[in-house]
Amino acid sequence: MTTERKFVATAAIAVAFASGALLSRTIDRRMTLTADPPAQTAAAPVQSRGGSSSALPDLTAVAERGIQASVNISSTEMVQVDPFLQFFYGADATQASTSLGSGVVVSTDGYILTNSHVVGNPRSEIHVTTSDDREVPARVIGIDTISDLAVIKADLKTASPLPWGDSDRLKAAEWVLAIGNPFRFNQTVTHGVVSAPKRHDPQLDTYTDFVQIDAAINPGNSGGALVNTRGELIGINTMIYGPSGGFQGIGFAIPANTARRVMDLLIKDGQVTRGSIGGISVRNITAAQAKANDLGDRDGVLVARLAQSASAARAGLRPGDVIVGFNGQGVKEQNQLARLVADAPVGSVVKLEVIRAGRPTTLDVTITRLQPPPVKR
């Protein structure tokens, strides 16, 4: 099995409406204990060469630190053989399949953050290779397929973790470095800028606002570090956009703030619990639908379908309703609603502000637990 596959990004959360854009994963198939990882001292801001504000920044020190915190990941899992081959050629029922990717050390005791599609499943045999070419085994701590994140741990006696940056403060055109293992070229560094600090789009995953970058990432970069000019981890490189499977100037990283929250839950509980309002399909409202519902300039999402067993249906939500608010926060589009629901505490009661036939109403909806896609075992 090759390490380069194409994928179609689909919405993992039930409130989202599936879209059909073709995405190419940057590798095989497509992202402390209870406390925060030990605080790290951020690298000093880099200076421009020649003292000119127009010169490119000198990122050599930042790159060196990022490389020291980066690892290459080899994950081997047993997969079912094609029944045709098994019948005609007598092949074994299972065969070993190896995928390669990247990871970043985030604590002095050896926790490593990467993508779930790099790890594969909890029983995968995993080895990491450090920047000084040491290969050590690692074990799976937790996998979250919805965010495409996973945490593994290795005995790294000289671990050099990167400090965390605040991804909410990213700005367009800010310089970044992408570090990883593209096409098995170990510890490759590319640079570019932030194209969009918070990219959410029906073509992309519904749960995460991605950091869009133009730094080159390719198959093998999955799970690698996205670093700012202060040497801080501000994202986990995850996927590229395009039909060819190769880089075309549009790449995406999971923001560090999202990655850190998911990582902490995986380390603490081994899983991430998210909220749901049941089987419901929504889509962004059109101008004609807004007019028909007397919304004026208000945004909202139209309820297309919902299961009768859904908690939202039991609360009185109906197909044709327009959801314009969630617990006092205006709802502008379907992906935003998906994230609001997912982040709501299970068992809590939220208020859905709804427009029905031009009339506003408020529904009290109980948040149930979202059943995540199964992890292969």
Catalytic residue, chosen from 74, 75, 222, 311, is: 222
Catalytic residue, chosen from 74, 75, 116, 117, is: 117
Q: Answer yes or no: are the C-beta atoms of 302 and 261 closer than 8 Å.
A: no
Q: Which residue in this structure is represented by tokens 């590319």?
A: 190
DSSP string, 8-63: E----STTSPP---EEEESSS-----SSPPPP-PPPPPP-BGGG-TTSPB--HHHH
Q: Give the H/E segment covering residue 292.
A: helix 287-292
Interatomic CA distance for residues 32 and 107, integer angstroms:
7
Q: What is the dihedral of CA 12, 111, 268, 209, to 10 degrees?
A: -30
DSSP string, 51-103: G-TTSPB--HHHHHHHHHTEEEEEEEEEEEPPHHHHHHH---SEEEEEEEEEE
Catalytic residue, chosen from 28, 144, 148, 264, is: 148
Please, how many CA atoms are within 13 Å of residue 60, restricted to the half-sphere of its CB? 3
DSSP 183: G
Q: Which residue in this structure is represented by tokens 């606002």?
A: 209
Catalytic (active site) residue 222: yes
The catalytic site residues sit at 117, 148, 222
